[in-house]
Amino acid sequence: MIKFFRKIRLNLLSENKFSKYLIYAIGEIILVVIGILIALQINNANEIRKERDKEINSLLNLKADLVSEIGNTERFATYRFEKAIACSTLLNFDEPNSINDVQEYTDTYEKVFIWNTYVPNNNTFKELLSSGNLSRIKNDSIKNKLLELEKHYADISGGEHHMRREYETYLYDPHVKNIRAIPFFDLSKPNYGFPNRLRIEDIPTEQHQQLIENAKWQHNNDLFKNGLRLAYMNNSFLAGMHKNLAEYIQDLIKLIDDEIKK
């Protein structure tokens, strides 16, 4: 097309038809401008598509993390609730008077004592935040809920930190200082992981009375019982936070799904 205009231009110049040449020259310029505009539009469309592809990829990775996180936080909701149940059982337990009572009492307080820290699966969000690519997510509702989700994680972490201090002050320290620790584990044969569990018949009869007295001390000690009450309240509260968090994440996943389908 351009060669065609150039050929006409030469013919017109040779015939001194300047006005017609001018029209064709303007047409040639317009053609070039249109070509440039089309090229820019195609380039912009390609850039928009590339950015959208990156956004979709980030959304898919976020969704994968969140789907995994639902299972994680639901497990912690159950874990915390079971510890609250164990605390309630101990607070309402009859005074241990036999070695069988001691074993039951010990099995229950060990459920309270075991400590696991909640670690959310938010790797994609942290990567987007640290790299400055959070702006890649164009949907403000998704972006705001992701930021709010981090606040939920921080609240749970703060609750755990608070509870850990109370565990150490009211449960762990009085227990270790005043009674025989982990009496139902075989400490003679180290294992990878927990030692083997002892049965009642594995414990010498002459040790039974001391274990009964230890269990009675814990059962009647006000400091230890206050620790159980605090553990009951804190674990119940955190169990509720985890339950609510699972529902919040499910709503966020729906928002992401809707955005991906656009």
* Between 106 and 262, residue with greater pLDDT: 106
State residue 130 phi and psi, 5-degree precision. -70, -30
Tell me the C-alpha distance between 262 and 257, whole Å.
Answer: 9
- In this prediction, residues 52-72 reach a mean pLDDT of 95
Specify the pLDDT at position 9.
52
Query: Which of 8-22, 70-84, 173-187 shows the highest mean pLDDT?
Result: 70-84
Specify the pLDDT at position 3.
53
* Between 45 and 240, residue with greater pLDDT: 240
* Cβ atoms of residues 122 and 65 within 8 Å: yes
Contact residues for 196 (Cβ-Cβ < 8 A; gap 6+): 185, 186, 189
Kindly tell me if the per-residue pLDDT of 11 is higher than 60: no
- Helix (H, G, I), strand (E, B), or coil: what is residue 197? strand
Which pLDDT tens digit goes with each residue over 119-166? 999 999 999 999 999 999 999 999 999 999 999 999 999 999 999 999
- Helix (H, G, I), strand (E, B), or coil: what is residue 106? helix
Specify the pLDDT at position 5.
47
Structure-block tokens of residue 109: 């307080």
Contact residues for 82 (Cβ-Cβ < 8 A; gap 6+): 111
Specify the pLDDT at position 62.
97
Kindly tell me if the per-residue pLDDT of 19 is higher than 90: no
Whether pTM exceeds 0.75: yes
Tell me the C-alpha distance between 157 and 163, whole Å.
Answer: 10
Specify the pLDDT at position 6.
55
Which pLDDT tens digit goes with each residue over 87-125? 999 999 999 999 999 999 999 999 999 999 999 999 999
Specify the pLDDT at position 46.
73
Structure-block tokens of residue 178: 């005043």
Distances (CA, A) of 69 to 228, 242, 244, 256: 29, 11, 13, 15
* Cβ atoms of residues 120 and 75 within 8 Å: no
- In this prediction, residues 171-180 reach a mean pLDDT of 94
Angle, CA of 136, 74 and 133, to the nearest 5°: 10
Tell me the C-alpha distance between 40 and 101, whole Å.
Answer: 82
Among the residue ranges 41-55, 188-202, 211-225, 244-258, the one predicted with the least confidence is: 41-55
What's the mean pLDDT when you consider all of the chain? 89
Specify the pLDDT at position 10.
53
- Residue from 216, 177, 185 nearest 99 by CA: 216
